[in-house]
Structure 1
Amino acid sequence: MTSCPTSAERAALKVAQAATMTGDASYDLVSAIVFALGSAQLLQSPETAAEQEQLRKDRDAFCVQRNGVFRTNERLHEALQEEQDARLRAENDVRTLTRERDGLRARVAELGDSAPSQVVPVVDDVPVPVVLTEMDGPAVVTSAALAAAEKLRRTLALPGGERP
């Protein structure tokens, strides 16, 4: 008997106490208790005990397997959360860059209205307005370009080429 009786032991004790109170003289006390326990279905066969032990082992194995699955699920959940966070950061970056691009386009349009510019093709064939001056050097402002600008000034007949 254990220090704290289990529910099965308490049930067996009640059956044994009840068996001692019956006055059946055909059996000794121990036999009467055993028969009473059997009638109350508190006794089990060795096969039933072995099956119960196997079921306990199976249950414990399933618990270990379940705990492993829980750990895997937690790991996968954390990885998914990190990927979702990275996706959200990327979407925020795209929105920020789009706003910056739109702002720069608006600024270029604003500057394009106020200053003479020349469209210079870049590598990806997107025209970018660039204001060329003589300070940019001979590589950018050639004598042919200066001659063409002077011819345009004369044609427009504007002093110094200023806009009206």
Structure 2
Amino acid sequence: MFSPSTTKLKPSLTVCLLLTLLFTALGLILFHIDLPDQWLWLLAGAIAIHWIYAIGLHGLRVWPNSITAIDLTLDQQGEVNCRIHHRRGTSQLVILDRDSLLTAPLTILSCRPDNSSEQILPKFKRQLVILTKDSTNPEDYRRLRVLLRMAPQATPPS
């Protein structure tokens, strides 16, 4: 039986380390490409700025559009509805895409806005929620993964 679930998210050292490894690899690849120095430093600066933004958004959750909670509920048709809550205090109903990754060490939820409901926030095309065991209570993390795996997903409108 499905019961509604709210998962509160907190800063994650694991996500910060994963993002740091990713952006370090990008930087190393960039320095092995034969580029003029001006372009090399411009691209390195862009990677560094995006690394700071990604760490704040997904790892430390300090930016206003960082996701701080995920609500899962069941609608009248028996499909799972997902609502994400942002640090700025707003929330938005979203549809989880089928390309979300659900594994024990890492969960990446790919979501897009549910256009059938009234939206307060600006529209976004797609947003990722990166979760690890240390980004929430371990029991809540396990429960969220089980609910997402077992519950029927909302079918996107064509």
Q: Report the TM-score when normalising by structure 2.
A: 0.19
Q: Based on CA coordinates, which of the two structures has the bigger radius of gyration?
A: 1
Higher strand share: 2
Higher relative contact order (CA 8 A, sep 6+): 2
